Amino acid sequence: MSEKLRKDDTGADVRTLQERLTAAGYDVEHDGWFGGKTEAAVIAFQRRTGLVADGIAGPKTLAALRTGVADPRLLRQADIEAAAATLGVAVASVMAVNEVESLGHGFLPDGRPVILYERHVMYRQLKEAGRDADDLAQLYPNIVNPKRGGYRGNEGEWYRLGLARQIDSGCALQSASWGQFQVMGYHYAVCGYDSAEAFAGAMAVSEALQLAAFVLFIEADPALHKALKSRKWAEFARIYNGAAYKENCYDARLAAAYARHARLDAGADDVPEAA
């Protein structure tokens, strides 16, 4: 079955989704088209189980449909709403950022938080710590390097981080991005933690704490916070993603996601309950 189904998708996977929604007590057609009625049923199920109510049947929603419950470590709609209140923005704005700018999941299948180890950041952190980064780069070029790269993805990133921690644990933890919102470890202080170790430990607890760190990261950058408040998506994407944001159309995707979530939020009272 596809890992992510959304409005206007068609096919056998959508039909299977509809069958599972029916089994969960929702009245939907079994026509293989992800229409408005199916979207409303997905949202209702997500609200019933506490998941983020985005109307997209992704891995978290599909897993909850199979088991009837959601993993307690996962992000909840209440977390999104609390983040919006803290930031002073519309819930739809945080929903859009969660849809476009996050990885969509904060944990690997083995339970460890998602990370991406950055060898070029390790090089920089070692230099700032007074270590001979150039000598270490000669010895361990895949772990310490002035140039980015060497990625293995998923569990492989933990292997790289483990090697880096043998060189300098603190610098290594600061040189990885953590969790669903990919906050770099060297931001630990602005995210409310006394050390990179404490930050990494919190990121292993829940996606809610990963979102909380992201909220503090936004609050610490007045320009980023202002862009989000005013929904200047190009400016937000430029600050958050860098100059290459246009290549991935982040601004257009954020605007479209915001419009969709604002529409869903406006129609929240029309979402059906399960039979």
Taking residues 122-148, report their average pLDDT: 97
Q: What is the pLDDT of residues 52-102, one digit of tens each?
A: 999 999 999 999 999 988 899 999 999 999 999 999 999 999 999 999 989
Residue 223 amino acid letter: A
* pLDDT value at residue 268: 61
What is the structure's pLDDT at 1? Answer: 67
Dihedral sign computed on CA atoms, order 150, 153, 155, 158: positive
Could you give the CA distance from residue 71 to residue 206 in angstroms, rounded to a whole number?
Answer: 10
> In the chain, what percentage of residues exceed pLDDT 90?
88
Q: Compute the distance between CA of residue 149 and CA of residue 147 in angstroms, rounded to an integer.
A: 7
DSSP 108: -
- Give the per-residue pLDDT at 150: 96
**Mean of all residue pLDDT scores within the chain:** 94
Of 205-219, 246-260, 261-275, the range with the lowest mean pLDDT is 261-275
Q: What is the pLDDT of residue 273?
A: 63
CA atoms of 37 and 28, how far apart (whole Å): 6
234 token code pair = 């190009």
More confident residue, 222 or 266: 222
DSSP 8-state class, residue 200: H
DSSP code at position 273: P
Type of residue at 57:
A
Close Cβ partners of 262 (under 8 Å, ≥ 6 residues apart): 90, 92
Radius of gyration of the chain (CA): 20
pTM above 0.85, yes or no: yes
* Domains of the chain in sequence order: 1-70 (1.10.101.10), 115-206 (no CATH)
Coil vs helix vs strand at 31:
coil
List, for residues 239-251, the tens digit of each pLDDT value.
998 888 988 899 9
pLDDT band at 274 (very low <50, low <70, confident <90, very high): low
Cβ atoms < 10 Å from Cβ of 4: 13
Residue % of the chain over a pLDDT of 70: 96
pLDDT for residue 195 is more than 60 = yes
**Residue 264's pLDDT band (cuts 50, 70, 90):** confident
- Per-residue confidence (pLDDT) for residue 69, from 0 to 100: 87
pLDDT bracket for residue 103 (50, 70, 90): confident
Residue 271 has pLDDT above 60, yes or no: no
pLDDT, greater one: 1 or 97:
97
155-to-51, 83, 232 alpha-carbon distances in Å: 25, 29, 35
Judge contact between 76 and 208, C-beta under 8 A: yes
DSSP structure class, residue 267: T
Give the span between the Cα atoms of 42 and 62, in whole angstroms: 10
